[in-house]
Structure 1
Amino acid sequence: MPAATVAGGRYLVTGGLGFVGAHLVRHLLALGGEVTVFDNDQTPERAARVRPTLPAGAGSRLRFVAGDIRSPQDLQQALADGPFRSVFHLAAYSVIERAAQDPAGAIATNAIGTVNLLDALRRSPATVPDSVVIASTDKVYGEMEGNRYTEQSPLRGIGIYDAAKLAGDVMGQAFHQSFGIPTVVLRLCNVFGPDDRNCRYRLVPRSLSLLFDPTGPVPPELYFESIGHWRDYVYVDDVVAALLLAAVRPACRGEVFNIAGCVNLSTPEVLRRIVEAAASHERDHDPQRAERIMANGFRVVVRGQTPGVTTISRQHLDGTKFGEFTSFRPRFDFDQGLRATVRAARARHLDPAARPVLAGTTR
């Protein structure tokens, strides 16, 4: 995305201290934009995702607004910082297992929170930006029929997380049709990359936290019920590129797009590649640990199904439509992105004093 398309503009990023949000904020600042980060968790650890890695002089173009997407009053405070050229809506209740345990919280955040944002924009016509980019998920499609999802595939997401995201997704389209809010909905697959802190639930950071455990490498776990699962994966830099393209292309407004992954892999194959990438990187630091990583491999464990969690066995997005509108295609292949992710994970877990290794360094 050319710097000229961002320089001089102000942008609002909800959930701007989350995994994808922090990467997006850094990219916007690097391109010369002014950014307001709206996030309900601004602890020093989360804020450090952005502040220590800013380009020179960018701090003056960054503002934080603490607030909850479920609160219309908090959103009004954030919107008062505008007008914005674009709004990127990434705030979400993003852990599927937690959503199943707290359906009301998940729905209030993912569905009603999206409505709160769009309604706040509707009520303040002077604040309506050129685009509102809403991050959705491939899980809105539910179990796959055929060999891939297109934007015309039935929406069968019936899990609590899936349905809550689907409701926000659909309301984004409704506010465009009913009130002219320039929404763009992007349905993302599994995003991976440096600085993903969700080591409890997400496969890639969870596995790397075990492999780089300071007490010694622990074999990552493959849940028995996941052996036959297939998923798309996309590197976080490519997601940021898609978000920016969706924001600046007028033809995208009012549309829904799948963002295709760089690869579609079985879960066992993902774990195999994680183990090999971690061992390969570790050979330059601690050859004995590298040997143990390879000797351990990964282990299969039986885990009881989390109550309320629905499992989708196969997922694969067709990204043809977005490519036709924007010429987008993923730039990073899985192994290339995984190497950068491994490098950052090792630095975080085994060398915390090191400067963070973040997205963009693979270019």
Structure 2
Amino acid sequence: MKYLVTGGAGFIGGNFIHYMVNKYPEDMIVNLDKLTYAGNLETCKPVEGKPNYKFIKGDIADRPFIMDLFEKEKFDVVINFAAESHVDRSIEDPEIFVKTNVMGTTTLMDACVKYGIKRYHQVSTDEVYGDLPLDRPDLFFTEETPLHTSSPYSSAKASADLFVLAYHRTYGLPVTISRCSNNYGPYQFPEKLIPLMISRALADEPLPVYGDGANVRDWLHVYDHCVAIDLIVHDGREGEVYNVGGHNERNNLQVVKTILKTLDKPESLIHFVADRKGHDRRYAIDPKKLETELGWKPKYNFDTGMQQTIQWHLDHKEWWQHILSGEYQQYYEKMYTDKGRV
């Protein structure tokens, strides 16, 4: 089998690349990434020498490039992680989110239809459902929850999901969609909550917390997410959506305090800042469909996952310090262009 994994130099996509390359040594895993600000090839360094791994730089919204790539490479399965994903950035510049998250998705699927791909999988988000009230802990997102987006980011992802389902019905493209809760773990770009707080706490810098810090998220370790996607791609029913949740609801303030306690840093570092526009209050996923149909269960609870994540950041300071300094953006030039590998 030959897999195309788009966005494989990002956080979740990079972890999935590690997972697939090591689990399926007989299969070819091709990593396609545009290497925007959040794409970091240093994430893929552990698998660069593997014979079943290949990196290609490119944009999923570049139609001529994508069609030529599919013609040459003859993929069997496409798994699309490539997306602009930071809510704050979507508020500042919605257009790039439409181009990548919507037009990029349809471009990929047009190629999939033309070249007879066996399975197209779209990696989506629970943010397409909107949010839940804090005073109703009995409510959860299911696959039947109506889409009710809050930001340009989630609107672009919801639009892409609808296109995926439309391509299944209209063209018979074999598709699946996964909608996950908030991911955390190794190799996460330091603009996101958990790695941002870890790096700032280690530097004894103020930890900015939006509003009152009461916004609740269901935290999913990225390894558990990778296992879920693998199961869905191979055994999930065509045309179906599967929710992936970690059973780990915590509000932002609890997350920050956990990090400070683990690192033995004072809570006086917490600094409340003006809330984000349209900030969703609570996300919570019901993953029963995934558990019942495919037998998925998360390996990590919040405590063990956070311990592993914090320890990873302590052991890999060079990785995230390269990002903070901007040095990571030179890795592609050093490792690929200078050696004639592209």
Give the TM-score, by structure 1 length. 0.81
1:276 alignment partner AA: K
- What does residue 126 of structure 2 align with? 138
2:22 aligns to what?
A: 30
- In 2: Cα distance, 1:226 partner to 1:67 partner: 41
- 5+ residue gaps in structure 1? 1-8, 280-292, 354-363
Are residue 334 (structure 1) and residue 308 (structure 2) matched? no
Q: 1:304 to 1:315 in 2, by over 3 A?
A: closer
- Maintained 8 Å contact 1:212/1:349: no
1:123 alignment partner, SS class: helix
Equivalence for 2:229? 243
Partner residue of 1:182?
A: 174
- Cα deviation digits, residues 244-298 of structure 1 (max 9, x gap): 001100x42210111012301111111111112223xxxxxxxxxxxxx1x3454
Q: For the Cα contact (< 8 Å) 1:262–1:332, is it kept in 2?
A: no
Structure 2 counterpart of 1:228: 214
Q: Distance between the aligned counterparts of 2:105 and 2:36, measured in 1?
A: 20
AA in 1 matched with 2:256: L
Give 1:71's aligned residue.
62
Deviation of residue 121 (structure 1)?
1.1
- 1-side partners of 2:153 and 2:319: how far apart? 35
1:278 match: 263
Residue 196 of structure 2 aligns to which amino acid in structure 1?
R
In structure 1, C-alpha distance between the alignment counterparts of 2:226 and 2:244, rounded to whole Å: 11
Matches within 5 A, 1:149-228: 149-197=141-189, 199-200=190-191, 202-213=192-203, 217-223=204-210, 225-228=211-214
Aligned length: 314
> Separation in 2 of the partners of 1:255 and 1:79?
25
Kindly indicate whether the alpha-carbon contact (under 8 Å) linking 1:212 and 1:345 is maintained by their aligned counterparts in 2: no
Post-superposition CA distance 1:172-222 (Å, at most 9, x none)? 11111111111111011100001112x23x110100111222xxx224232
Structure 2 Cα separation of the partners of residues 42 and 192 of structure 1 = 20
Q: Would you say 1:121 and 2:112 are equivalent positions?
A: yes
Distance 1:327 1:352, change over 3 A: closer
Contact 1:252-1:325 at 8 Å conserved across structures: no
Candidates 291, 295, 300, aligned match of 2:271: 300
Identity within the alignment, %: 25
Segments of 5+ residues of structure 2 without an aligned counterpart are 322-342
Give distance in 2, aligned partners of 1:39 and 1:68: 7
Q: Distance in 2 between matches of 1:350 and 1:163?
A: 35
Quote the Cα distance in structure 1 between the aligned partners of 2:124 and 2:319: 34
CA distance in 2, matches of 1:103, 1:49: 27
Q: RMSD of aligned C-alpha atoms?
A: 2.1
